[in-house]
């Protein structure tokens, strides 16, 4: 019985210690200055030569979800301590693995975004960068049959890359 009470007290004190920490540490690896409270994420328009109508919305919302779910930052429409803005610059499908009869066995959907990150509290962490991710699909499948799923998958990967560059310094 005494061991159980000691274990409960130990767990409680560890939780209390972790809960009292502000800023600085998160289980996602994000390093956020305690003075940073808000983030603004602008709409990312699709400026690629091939335009998929819902791509901008899916990507922008995925990016917002990533930052809101992985941090304590409040998402605001304008004037955030952090700001992400940019555009989708490339959306293309290319053939990848060729078979003996010179037909593609795999196709690749690639999405590239240009991102400008502004940190009003720590301007030395500002950056402008391009991020690109892709997903392959069988050539026996039409793009329209897998496109929605691939856009969601690639958008999630891009959001992770942007999050890590902005807040985890990876």
Decide if pLDDT at 8 tops 90: no
The predicted model gives 79-103 an average pLDDT of: 87
> Quick check: is 39 in a domain?
yes
Q: Report the percentage of the chain scoring pLDDT > 90.
A: 66
Closest to 82 measured CA to CA, from 91, 73, 72: 73
Q: How far apart are CA 42 and CA 170, in angstroms?
A: 23
| Partners of residue 133 on adjacent β-strands | 111
Decide if pLDDT at 45 tops 90: yes
When the pLDDT of each residue in the chain is averaged and rounded to a whole number, the result is 85
> Quick check: is 154 in a domain?
yes
> Quick check: is 75 in a domain?
yes
The predicted model gives 126-130 an average pLDDT of: 97
Element (H, E) at 130: strand 127-138
| Partners of residue 94 on adjacent β-strands | 108
> Quick check: is 98 in a domain?
yes
CA dist list (Å): 121 to 34, 86, 98, 117, 128: 10, 20, 50, 12, 17
- Identify the pLDDT of residue 105: 81
The 10s digit of each residue's pLDDT in 22-35 is: 443 444 457 788 99
This prediction has a pTM of 0.80
> Quick check: is 17 in a domain?
no
Domain count, the chain: 1
Res. 12 pLDDT band, cuts 50 70 90: very low
- Maximum average pLDDT range among 1-5, 8-12, 129-133: 129-133
CATH number of the domain at 79, please: 3.30.160.150
Element (H, E) at 3: helix 2-20
Range of the domain at 142: 35-168
Decide if pLDDT at 71 tops 60: yes
Q: How far apart are CA 40 and CA 9, in angstroms?
A: 41
Element (H, E) at 132: strand 127-138
The predicted model gives 49-72 an average pLDDT of: 95
Q: How far apart are CA 170 and CA 159, in angstroms?
A: 13
Q: What is the DSSP string of 5-43?
A: HHHHHHHHHHHHHHHH--SS--TT-----TT--EEEE--
């Amino acid at each position: 019985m005494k061991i159980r009470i000691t274990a409960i007290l130990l767990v409680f004190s560890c939780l209390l210690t972790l809960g009292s920490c502000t800023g600085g540490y998160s289980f996602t690896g994000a390093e956020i200055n305690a003075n940073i409270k808000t983030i603004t994420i602008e709409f990312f328009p699709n400026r690629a030569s091939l335009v998929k109508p819902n791509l901008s919305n899916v990507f922008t919302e995925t990016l917002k979800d990533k930052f809101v779910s992985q941090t304590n930052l409040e998402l605001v429409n304008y004037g955030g301590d952090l700001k992400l803005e940019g555009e989708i610059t490339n959306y293309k499908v290319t053939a990848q693995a060729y078979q003996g009869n010179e037909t593609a066995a795999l196709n690749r959907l690639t999405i590239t975004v240009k991102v400008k990150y502004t940190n009003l509290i720590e301007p030395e962490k500002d950056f402008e960068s391009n991020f690109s991710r892709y997903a392959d699909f069988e050539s026996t499948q039409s793009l329209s049959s897998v496109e929605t799923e691939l856009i969601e998958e690639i958008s999630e990967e891009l959001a992770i890359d942007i999050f890590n560059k902005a807040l985890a310094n990876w």
